[in-house]
Amino acid sequence: MYDRRVVITGMGVVTPVGNDLKTFWRNLLAGVSGVGRITAFDVSTYDCKIAAEVKGYDPLPYYNNPKDLRRSDRFTSLMFGAAKMAMADSGADVQTLDPTRFGCMLGSGIGGLHTLEIQHSALVEKGPRRVSPFMIPMMISNMASGMVSMDLGLQGPNMCHVSACATANNAIGEAWRIIKFGDADAFLAGGSEAAVVSLGVSGFDAMKALSNRNDEPERASRPFDKDRDGFVLGEGAGVLVVEELEHARKRGARIYCELAGYGVSADAYHMTSPLPDGTGAVRAMAMALKHGRINPEEVDYINAHGTSTGIGDVCETKAIKSLFGQHAMPGGLVVSSTKSMTGHTLGAAGAIEMAAGVLAIRDGLVPPTINLDEPDPECDLDYVPHKARERRVRVVLNNSFGFGGHNATLVAREFVD
């Protein structure tokens, strides 16, 4: 009962490089950048004028009740699209399943920042009576998970993880854990973020965390490159259907791969910087492999956290070399950062990047790290620069490391009966 196998049977994404799984994957493999000048608000007075925005997305078709859309922050409306696409992709019909065994584990690193911004302006300019009664439920990070479960009638475990950039990996991993323990059979699991608002951009830029390569936005996100100058803020959502193997078999589900392991750790070091030697990341990766009963040399591909920050990219490289040894060097496993194209979608990143890893298993193609023109001398792994690469991928590792020292790693492998 406590060691049930867990598989991935559905995926949905809303991203800066595509608002459906097919477009997303095609653009990743083609090395298309989703970064451009910010259109959501006037950036004429801002130092950072670029972001990876979701374009051309209409959330209305994903809502059963149009009123719910008016009561949703953007992070929730992005999640609705990803969740409904994941359900459709999985072929799961809630009407034929036990809804008390189907859960939602949908998180957000920041939550309804746009709502907070609008309602604070209303308070300052018009007084407290003009603050919306929907402000709190629209703003709080758990509401996307709550509203998706209401819309679909999912009555199983329902939680929201908030662990900065590790949020979605934690959500997927904790869903995996609950299914293995026997307390649910299936989950919608993932994350969403919509922080490309004036307050979000101002806050990250004040930390000197963002790239200011405003004249070349498509080249701004450049993980592992010596000329990187910070990450590019992105928005989006990613949701997976994770399911107990026999439950999936019983309903005739198509199985993408097996979700084999999950590892977590804390750096306990600094509010925003990782441990310089990468040992926190090492422990998360090692735990995921241990749970999956996978040896390090069996890993074919790592979708790196790879944010395009000076410290973070070096620390992750050190962590990979420490754990994988010679297998980490060219000729062994390969590493890439799809954030070079999507920007950093914060609490959504783990799910979006897990989808990329799953598709790499399915298609035998590894997405590239674009803009890697001259690697940092301390970043000396095979990061699949510029172009996608054909490679049989049996085992994928997905890293997400968040402010506050939160480390979360998932491992998936080719499904074998």
Helices (H), 251-348: 279-292, 310-324, 339-342
pLDDT, averaged in runs of 10, over the chain (417 residues): 90 98 98 98 97 98 95 98 98 95 98 97 96 96 97 97 97 98 97 98 96 98 98 98 98 98 96 93 98 97 97 97 96 97 98 98 98 97 98 98 96 96
Cβ atoms within 10 Å, residue 60: 10
For residue 2, the model assigns a pLDDT of 74
Which 3 state secondary structure label does DSSP give 345? coil
Q: Find the Cα–Cα–Cα–Cα dihedral 91, 180, 98, 60, rounded to 10°.
A: -50
The answer to whether the 6-250 and 262-413 domains have the same CATH topology is yes
pTM, to two decimals? 0.97
Whether domain 262-413 has CATH 3.40.47.10: yes
| Domain extent listing, the chain | 6-250, 262-413
CATH 3.40.50.460 fits 6-250, yes or no: no
3-state DSSP assignment of residue 395: strand
- Residues that are catalytic: 165, 305, 344
pLDDT for res 3: 85
CA 325 to chain centre: 27
Q: Which of 50, 146, 415 is nearest to 259 (CA)?
A: 415
Which DSSP symbol is given to 263? E
Number of separate helices (H) and strands (E) present in the chain: 13, 14
What does the DSSP 8-state code read for residue 347? G
- Evaluate whether 336 touches 366 at the Cβ level (below 8 Å): yes
